[in-house]
Amino acid sequence: MRYLIMAGLLMVSLLACQSNESANARLAPVSELAATMRVMTTDMEGLKTAVAKGELTLSQVDAMIVAHASLATDQATTPSDIKITFPTYADGYIKQLQLLREQVINQADVKQQIDAFNAVLVTCVGCHQDHCPGPIERIEKIAIQP
């Protein structure tokens, strides 16, 4: 009897492992662009508190500019979904980060830094309105309300 129970548990374990492998095999790999945008979202969510408190540092903004620099050239999950306007939006995003950087360098007041931070997000929303509207609500939630 004990052997039957052990054999049954072993079979259940093997079947469970096999079903997980087949579920994972069906998942599409994450594209470069999707991975970069996930990092962008995490980074902006992480900076929100620092910006709101006026504690944003130059190194934080510089790290974002470097980490997100590949945005315009990253491969999309479905390249045919990327419109001709995408590189312009990507460049605009980096330029908005550079403007935020200037606010930090110039030791602008908190309101000016918040405005610059929110302007970065407006660029993201504009692009997503044109390309892929799914993340817009999440992006808008990152904005700092006055």
Determine the Cα–Cα distance for residues 140 and 138; give it in Å rounded to an integer.
5
Mean model confidence pLDDT for the chain: 86
The tens digit of pLDDT for each residue in 50-95 reads 999 999 999 999 999 999 999 999 999 999 888 999 999 999 999 9
> What's the confidence (pLDDT) of residue 27?
76
CB 85 within 8 A of CB 130: yes
Q: Which of 81-85, 97-101, 116-120 has the lowest mean pLDDT?
A: 81-85
pTM for the whole thing?
A: 0.79
The structural domains of the chain, with segments of one domain joined by +, span 32-142
Determine the Cα–Cα distance for residues 68 and 63; give it in Å rounded to an integer.
9
Angle at 62 between CA 146 and CA 103, to 5 degrees: 40
Question: What residues contact residue 105 under an 8 Å CB cut-off, 6+ apart?
Answer: 58
